[in-house]
Structure 1
């Protein structure tokens, strides 16, 4: 397996950072965590290098040792978010190594939506390519290539096994990513109450059904694949 690109610090701690949290540790990570917390609370516009420094409990000039401007800090947030996404996908696949390629494709899709629901700030930052220089960042490109290649490999394996009802694998790859991305966007942007799915559990169940149905629709035997996907979740 490709080497994991997990961030050095635990991903779930960012929102809990407060002023004074930095104690001669990793200054760069402390500033990133403070930025994530600020964006989560008040939006990207309210996040500044000075405010991130205050939140991290360091001098106002400290962030400039690592980030010459706000855009560079946002880029670092995006890279951390993408690393967490890849790690989430790798962990999910590692828990279902014996499953068929279409079931694993569903696992990837669910991992993506789960990541977005758990980390909406990272989703928002990564989703707006105007905020970051995506194609100038090797960490972002590397992790994104890994995700795309994994999807391509699973679809190719399904085709080789004669499982697919479609022949255009590139289009299927695009459609699968669009389905997962669109559902995640609907959650992050708060669209589910319009469909009487305000509760997180209800929205999550609806997204699960949509993803399962889409992946099954790629198969020659949709009912069999859908049964395998649902059996995996118990």
Structure 2
């Protein structure tokens, strides 16, 4: 087979997106960008470039960068909620100690396995409940489980929200310190699992002493 001398090779064709695919492709490109750089590197133009679409294409789905990041955060909460549902479904009530273990493991493992989602799920921008209604709903669904568990655990003897805040701060801090590096350095481990199990048993023993 011969080709004409000097003829330029055909430019690669941009991926053709079917209806509904572009939005997810932009979210996926954002996650990859956050994983390799950071949230500060995200812009609609850069995400479009990485997704292989025109600079104007993201505006069909997202009004600005915050709207795109909100979609990433909402996807994270939705995935976390699904994992919590699956984990709790195998535990018979009223074993609140096992429910607490399950929720703690789900939260920390999700954060470690999906650090790009985790970085954007708790941004201050999402405090506008009206502007980010669906994101707020998914976030409250996750937090609501902690509230329900705290209520069952204390039997009204301890302030429900205080206990829920404490549990949240524990798992959030554990996951964040691991993802950012300090705990990996201190434990000299490539896996959070041994520390997670020891921490879970310690915390459950404190909250629910036998």
* Fold similarity call, TM over 0.5: yes
Question: 2:202 aligned with 1:208, yes or no?
Answer: no
Offset, 1:120: 0.4
- Mapping for residues 170-209 of structure 1, pairs under 5 Å: 170-200=161-191, 203-209=192-198
TM normalised by structure 1 equals 0.75
Offset, 1:20: 5.6
| Equivalent residues, number | 196
Cα deviations by residue, 1:172-203 (Å, 9 ceiling, x for unpaired): 11111110010011111111233133312xx2
- Contact 1:85–1:112 at 8 Å: present in 2 too? yes
- Contact 1:156–1:169 at 8 Å: present in 2 too? yes
TM normalised by structure 2 equals 0.83
Cα deviations by residue, 1:113-150 (Å, 9 ceiling, x for unpaired): 010011001111113325x4553312222122222222
**What's the secondary structure of 1:68's corresponding residue?**
coil
* Alignment RMSD: 2.3
Which of the residues 65, 75, 83 maps onto 1:80?
75
C-alpha distance in structure 1 between counterparts of 2:203 and 2:29, whole Å: 38
Q: 1:170 to 1:124 in 2, by over 3 A?
A: same
Offset, 1:52: 1.3
Q: 2:40 maps to which residue?
A: 45
C-alpha distance in structure 2 between counterparts of 1:143 and 1:69, whole Å: 21
Q: 2:10 maps to which residue?
A: none
Q: Which has the larger radius of gyration?
A: 2
Question: 2:138 aligned with 1:143, yes or no?
Answer: yes
Q: 1:128 maps to which residue?
A: 123
C-alpha distance in structure 2 between counterparts of 1:138 and 1:48, whole Å: 23
Offset, 1:66: 0.9
Q: 1:143 to 1:198 in 2, by over 3 A?
A: same
Offset, 1:22: 5.7
- Contact 1:28–1:66 at 8 Å: present in 2 too? yes
Question: 2:59 aligned with 1:67, yes or no?
Answer: no
Listed as ranges, the gaps of 5+ residues in structure 1 are 1-18, 222-234
